Chain A
Amino acid sequence: MVLNGFLPDFEKQCMELNYFKEQFAARMEPASAIVICRRGEEELIDLKQIPAPGIVLIPCEYYQPEAILKILTRQMNKEDLYLFGHSYGANEIAVRAAARLNGSSAAGVHKIEKIEAGMMIERMVYSNYMMATFLLKKSPYCIAIANGLGEHKVEITYPRNVRIAEKAEIPDFLISRDLHHEVRKATLAEAQRLIVAGRGAGNKEQVQELEQLSQKIHGKLGVSRPVAMNAWAPMEALVGVSGTMTKPKLCITVGVSGAAAFYLGIEKSEFIVAINKDKNAPIIKKADVAIIEDFSNVIHALSEYIEKG
């Protein structure tokens, strides 16, 4: 396992990788885990969640792929399988580490199976409308897992050999770096009630009205890609494969077409409502219930019913 100790949800990352390993690589002998972490904070990393006999820590000033790759590839063995998380940074170092070691890589992987000819993997293609099976032939296999597959908590109590590798030095091409605001743990991912605005919401003001409704039901507002691209809502409200994967009890989509790349972000909702004036919009069949109407009158009426209880 290769873990990113810079992420605010390190524990979740461990549980997701544990789940994937238990599901698809349980019979493989675990090797040392590698954790990339902030220099000087090596002691702060919670290693209890990492089921590996040994742990190598790679300290770095911040998560800089060029710097990390140089040290990481020295720790990797040609014959092994390496599991990475689903963050963008994890994808990058998985692909580039495999390229440097003449191995194979894939990102967004849902399933793996070791066979004699190599490693079979499944991942989504065609904007998430299809699942593809590939055979990777060259080891090491660097696999970045898909988001939202599952979590498995472990707690290791036996002693492990923990080693700190040499520091990953920031390369010269970076002249300056300013971090504007740090990412907090995603609140959207944990929301139990969600209202999601799509392109059909029409404009920024209507999206803001939907946000007010989301507050009335003690939920959060999410948006589809066109809404975020038009800056009707901040990019951090983006739901879908390239945004947040949610799993609310209730999800109400408003003016959302239902493209697969978006839908995956709400697929794990317990109950999905679609409000859309187009009866042929793909979201209608992907929802539990749907109202075919222009959304504004429905939302105003719904808002009143919610207020009255």
Chain B
Amino acid sequence: MNILNCFKVVSDLDLLGEGDWIADEQNNVDVSFVRTGWNCFDESALEMLLKLSDLSEGFNVMYNLSALTIGNEKCDTYLKTLYALGYQKAVRIDCENDLRFCSDFVAGLIAQYVGDQGNIDVIITGKQSADGENGQTPFLLAEQLGWPHIGQVTMIEPVDETCLKVRTVTDEGEVTQTIKIPCILSVGNAPNSYLRVPTLKDRLRLGKQPIEVRKVENQGAAGQGLLKLRAIDYRRAGIIIEGDSPEEKAAVLFRQYLKERL
């Protein structure tokens, strides 16, 4: 079974200070000075596939895992890590465009790749990315490919060459479904799904495989109607309770602020 993971590398936005949330005239925000990382939901999806692959032996199913991202060569470090973790193919769609709010365009690029390959059975993504927060790409990908979509996936288990068992958290409750391929899965909050770390040996052995780089023919992604960006001020009084010891501070907290509220 050929499974494609689509992930995004994002800046760690929680590291920006209050004064950093400034949009320029083109509605861009400079986030280039903070470290990057896996988009949190995508990270869960990547680990979920590795766990699925770990389980494959007992079910006599082979899972060929590929990973795809869209961006510049800075993403290659992440793709090499995935090679080191056992992904068999790493693909980067080379694109410098501003894709923050272009879910339709992003879904189109993925759909085009899937169409060109012709042998992908399952696509898995995170439910949304940190910067755009559009939460639309998996849905639009399903519409563009005409494939069914299952969201809020928390676990995937093998069944056979044509089916997967997926556990999801729906609005009604926790559900386990057996589904036929092809399908698109998107991952939301999934416990115990931090991506494992490859060994140095695996980095040296597997991490140097070539990354397939595809050029984008249509660079026409527009700003998707973005008119304005403004920072949100969440500040409150922020009074710091002073005292010589934790116990003394706790006493002040209790007497002055909590007693009347308990």
Interface residues of A (CB under 8 A from B): 4, 6-7, 62-63, 65-66, 87-89, 91-92, 95-96, 99-100, 105, 107-108, 118, 120, 123-137, 171-183, 193, 217, 225, 228-231, 235, 238, 242-243, 249-250, 257, 259-260, 263, 267, 271-273, 279, 282, 284-294, 297-299, 301-302, 305-306
Contact = CB atoms under 8 A, between A and B. Distances in A.
A291 B139 contact: no
A306 B262 contact: yes
A-B pairs with lowest CB-CB distance, top 3: A297-B246, A301-B250, A182-B173
A287 B238 contact: yes
B215 interface: no
Given A181-B173, A250-B261, A298 B246 contact: yes
A18 to B, nearest CB: 20
Interface stretch (B13-21, B58-66, B67-75, B111-119): B13-21
A181 B96 CA distance: 45
B234 A286 contact: yes
B133 A124 contact: yes
Nearest to A117: B225
B226 A273 contact: no
A250 B224 CA distance: 40
21 contacts: A65-B149, A92-B139, A96-B142, A107-B136, A108-B133, A126-B131, A127-B13, A127-B131, A131-B229, A134-B226, A135-B225, A137-B225, A176-B178, A177-B176, A179-B173, A263-B234, A279-B240, A285-B18, A288-B238, A289-B240, A292-B240
Interface in B226-250: 226-232, 234-241, 245-247, 249-250
Interface of B: 13-14, 16, 18, 21, 23, 29, 31, 40, 100-101, 104, 127, 130-136, 139-140, 142-143, 148-149, 151-152, 154, 163, 169-180, 183, 188-194, 224-232, 234-241, 245-247, 249-251, 253-255, 257-258, 261-262
Nearest to B100: A125
A172 to B, nearest CB: 7
A259 B176 CA distance: 32
Contact of B225 (A124, A134, A242, A287): A134
Given A242-B188, A272-B236, A136 B225 contact: yes
B177 A174 contact: yes
B258 A131 contact: no
B149 A132 contact: no
Contact of B140 (A99, A126, A133, A182): A99
A230 to B, nearest CB: 7
Given A87-B171, A129-B232, A291-B241, A135 B246 contact: no
Chain B CB within 10 Å, residue with most, of A89, A125, A193:
A125
Given A288-B237, A302-B250, 13 more contacts: A65-B149, A88-B151, A88-B170, A95-B136, A126-B131, A129-B16, A133-B229, A135-B225, A173-B183, A228-B191, A229-B194, A289-B237, A290-B240
Given A180-B173, A229-B194, A289-B257, A298 B250 contact: yes
Contacts of A282: 14, 18
Contacts of A178: 175-177
Contact of A66 (B140, B148, B152): B148
A180 B180 contact: no
A32 B254 CA distance: 53
Nearest to B16: A129
B136 A305 contact: no
B189 A242 contact: yes
A132 B226 contact: yes
Contact of B189 (A128, A228, A292): A228
Nearest to B20: A129
A82 B170 CA distance: 22
A259 to B, nearest CB: 5
Contacts of B194: 229
Nearest to B254: A305
B139 A99 contact: yes
A172 B231 CA distance: 46
A68 B140 CA distance: 16
A132 B177 contact: no
A293 B135 contact: no
